[in-house]
Amino acid sequence: MITYQEDNRVFKLDTPNSTYMIGIVDDENFVGHIYYGKRLQEAEASYLLRTQEAPYTPGRNNRERCSFYDCFPFEYPTGGTGDFRESCLSVRTAGGHVGAMLSYVSHEITGGKPALEGLPATFGTLEECETLKIVCEDKYVGMQVELFYTAFRDIDVITRSVRVSNAGQEHFYLTKVYSACIDMDNRDFDMVSLHGSWARERHIQRKTLGYGIQNVSSFRGESSHQDHPFLALVDKNTTQEHGEVYAMNFVYSGNFRAQAEVSQFDYVRMSMGIHPENFCWKLEPGESFQAPEAVMVYTDKGFDAMTSAFHKLYRKHLIRGKYKNKKRPILINNWEATYFNFNTDKLLAIAKEASALGIEMLVMDDGWFGRRENDDCALGDWQVNEEKINGGLKNLVDEVNKLGMKFGIWFEPEMISPDSELYRAHPDWAIAIPGRPGTESRHQYVLDLSRQEVVDCVYNMVASVLKSANIEYVKWDMNRQLTDIGSASLPADRQGELYHRYVLAVYEMQGRLVKDFPDLLLENCSGGGARFDAGMLYYSPQIWCSDDADAIERLEIQEGTAMLYPLSTMGAHVSDCPNHTVGRVTPFETRGIVALAGTFGYELDVTKIPEADREQIPEQVAMYHQYNDLVREGDYYRIASYSKNHKFDCWQVVREDKKESLVTFVQVMNRPNFKSRRILLKGLDENLRYDVHFVGDKDAGVKSYSGDTLMKAGILMPNLWGDFRARLIHLVAAD
Ligand code: DGJ
């Protein structure tokens, strides 16, 4: 997978269909990026580093160094010495100076993949992957930089990370440290990213890449609703099935920047890392900083192949724990059913009805603790409000268990309400700038998790609730972004570390939680889907996708999310109607079919919904049990996109052995005088025959066609009567 050719000093990293090549050149040992693309046979492309092009040619002409630095394809560019493109690494020395330039010192190739200290990361065994470490230095700064690359044997993925160490005698500050960079020749790329807002997260955006810098970013303290830590550069004619894609995704849940810069010479620099805004990390002699991991995917087979690589990697090499490959219990969450207005009796009434319908777990959302009757108080007071939960938590959980259901609970551990016992006892525990009134958001502040005593105190409160009853699921929420960045415990020259220390502490807390409670099912959430990222997936196998559970809004949200993340990770529920975020009325059947593409659950008052809807629940529950293995573990293909065609949506999952498949078709608005649509299926075995069953359509019967015909000629999807209608088509290979 990874080789080093001593004679021409080239590293070649191979995945099944891609090659990544790095070269070391000249006596000064510059580390250059030679190639990333379709798999190559030989490692002989070091001439592509353009070291012979005048006016500066290393080792032979020292007249015009800038012209070399400013166009050389650096593996890991630094700033301040002549490369005027955006750098990946900036330092400020004790003397206040900023320039740096790296040169190769040594390297090591090992089997497997080392863990990243304190950070989530993908993992793999000696057989599954190999890792290259290139050690570089800047002896003037006294800095050592280790560049890590892991190539996976069976997946077209290369992961990267960087560790910077102070190998000198004096401290210095890291003011920027990205995780990955690719310097390429531009080829008229388009740039694809995921953009959004609260209740409309991760909509796919594609635009022409022009000269200069274009980026997506967050400095909200979390990966955010607005931009996503993902970027792809794709050919103009790249489609789902064809064309080149260079994609990067960040295994990190805090501030980030993902950027493409097209330079004067038509080169493009694609980079990803922690956002440098307000970032400044002090390194004392002997100390190191570990940057998070970035995942890179290259394919020439379009977005379907890119998605497949991310899904395989995350399913096998990122998600952990008991539920990694397991069907999740069908839950009912009381948030949209009751908001803060509930008590034991109300919850038990919901649970009773739900259990009779086949729902398997009750989740008690926000409002069970302290004096929390609405959203303006009590965050941080993680003790059960026994006026509401009359009889106590254990009694409630026991009663729910007696109904044959599991019990889950909501926390927002990172927050503190100004009106809380915790804040009155520890006002300095909130992130704040001394002397400046804090900016409230949803009436709350963020806890300063850079302080170990804060982490311990909150963690212990959460753990003691979890130990007090048979609680099998936690929804970990985070409902505001970070402002007024200041910690009462960090010295002045370490305040710039707070954003990252905060994220590290969240990881530490969640790591502790899943270790101390190994059977717990953890679902992350952040005001819907503001922290739906690969970092959080290391701790929780599922994340609440969006507060917008309207079936039609979900089409775009789930399409964008599923571009990177397996369907098993997408928290998706059948919610109330008219929908609480858009007021839309959609058929109960459609809400069920769209939620089947995720974890599946309910978010409504099952005691109040219309009888005709309630009657459908046992059937939906049965569908979940029938299809969830396929949805969770199958290969996912995008057939049509409502966000592009504005008419209908269609996706497909296919079991790994290709013997079973499920197609989901959603027709948004009906059109008068319209006939059936021809849909070309994907991923089947062309040599197998499949029984095709239009689920719920009793007149259609079961017809049998070959995989070859279904993929090349397609099926006819009848026009459906009414708006917002959906159909499942189930295919099983005939014996
Ligand atoms: C935001 C979440 O996304 C909702 O599902 C709900 O848990 C509320 N927070 C509770 O405050």
Residue 366 Cβ contacting ligand 1 at under 6 Å? yes
Beta strands in 525-659 (DSSP E): 542-544, 570-571, 574-575, 601-603, 635-640, 648-654
Residues present in the chain in total: 735
Q: Which of 83, 227, 448, 547 does the annotation list as catalytic? A: 547
pTM over 0.95: yes
Nearest by Cα to 136 from 77, 67, 62: 77
Residue 558 gets which letter from DSSP? H
CA distances from 152 to 13, 122, 292 (A): 9, 11, 18
Question: Going by C-beta distance under 8 Å and a sequence separation of 6 or more, which residues neighbour residue 396?
Answer: 344, 347, 348, 364, 389, 407, 469
My answer on whether omega of the bond before 16 falls inside 30° of 0, hence cis, is no
Please give the distance, rounded to the nearest whole angstrom, from the Cα atom of residue 229 to the centre of ligand 1: 22
Alpha carbon dihedral 81, 86, 92, 96, in 10-degree steps, equals: 60
User: Residue 698's pLDDT is what?
Assistant: 84
Q: Please indicate whether residue 188 is annotated as part of the active site.
A: no
Residue 525 Cβ contacting ligand 1 at under 6 Å? yes
Q: In this structure, are residues 359 and 617 in contact, taking their beta carbons and an 8 Å threshold?
A: yes
Residue 589 Cβ contacting ligand 1 at under 6 Å? no
Count Cβ atoms below 10 Å from residue 253 Cβ, excluding itself: 33
Give, using CA atoms, the residue closest to atom 10 of ligand 1.
Answer: 366
What is Dmax (Cα atoms) for the chain?
A: 84
pLDDT below 50 — which residues of the chain?
A: none
Q: Give tens-digit pLDDT for 403-440.
A: 999 999 999 999 999 999 999 999 999 999 999 999 99
Please give the distance, rounded to the nearest whole angstrom, from the Cα atom of residue 624 to the centre of ligand 1: 24
Q: In this structure, are residues 31 and 103 in contact, taking their beta carbons and an 8 Å threshold?
A: yes
DSSP 698-713: TTT-EEEEEHHHHHHT
- Give the integer Cα–Cα distance in Å for 261 and 264: 10
Please give the distance, rounded to the nearest whole angstrom, from the Cα atom of residue 252 to the centre of ligand 1: 22
Q: In this structure, are residues 77 and 269 in contact, taking their beta carbons and an 8 Å threshold?
A: yes
DSSP 422-469: HHHH-GGGB---TTS----BTTBEEB-TTSHHHHHHHHHHHHHHHHTT
**Nearest atom, ligand 1, residue 603 CA:** 5
Residue 604 Cβ contacting ligand 1 at under 6 Å? no
User: Residue 60's pLDDT is what?
Assistant: 77
Please give the distance, rounded to the nearest whole angstrom, from the Cα atom of residue 339 to the centre of ligand 1: 9
User: Residue 63's pLDDT is what?
Assistant: 82
Residue 365 Cβ contacting ligand 1 at under 6 Å? yes
Q: In this structure, are residues 58 and 24 in contact, taking their beta carbons and an 8 Å threshold?
A: no
Residue 544 Cβ contacting ligand 1 at under 6 Å? yes
Residue 444 Cβ contacting ligand 1 at under 6 Å? no
Give, using CA atoms, the residue closest to atom 6 of ligand 1.
Answer: 335
Ligand 1 probe mutation, 364, 409, 544, 575, most atoms within 8 A of CB: 544
Question: Going by C-beta distance under 8 Å and a sequence separation of 6 or more, which residues neighbour residue 205?
Answer: 192, 193, 194, 195
Instruction: For CA atoms 151, 155, 157, 163, give the dihedral sign.
Output: negative
Residue 634 Cβ contacting ligand 1 at under 6 Å? no
Q: In this structure, are residues 446 and 379 in contact, taking their beta carbons and an 8 Å threshold?
A: no
Give, using CA atoms, the residue closest to atom 11 of ligand 1.
Answer: 366
Give, using CA atoms, the residue closest to atom 2 of ligand 1.
Answer: 527
User: Residue 53's pLDDT is what?
Assistant: 85
- Give the integer Cα–Cα distance in Å for 525 and 510: 13
* Residue that has been written with the tokens 């954003």 in this structure: 499
| 511-525 burial code (b ≥16 CB/10 A, e <16) | ebbbeebeebbbbbb
Nearest by Cα to 245 from 318, 316, 187, 315: 187
Question: In the chain, count of helices (H) and strands (E)?
Answer: 15, 39
Q: Give tens-digit pLDDT for 579-594.
A: 999 999 999 999 999 9
**Nearest atom, ligand 1, residue 526 CA:** 3
Q: Please indicate whether residue 477 is annotated as part of the active site.
A: yes
Residue 367 Cβ contacting ligand 1 at under 6 Å? no
Residue 333 Cβ contacting ligand 1 at under 6 Å? no
DSSP 3-61: EEETTTTEEEEE-SSEEEEEEEETTTTEEEEEEEEE--S-S--GGGG-TT-SS--TTT-
DSSP 586-598: --HHHHHHHHTTS
**Nearest atom, ligand 1, residue 525 CA:** 3
Beta strands in 340-418 (DSSP E): 361-364, 406-411, 415-416
Instruction: For CA atoms 497, 498, 499, 501, give the dihedral sign.
Output: positive
Please give the distance, rounded to the nearest whole angstrom, from the Cα atom of residue 366 to the centre of ligand 1: 7
**First CA to last CA distance, the chain:** 39
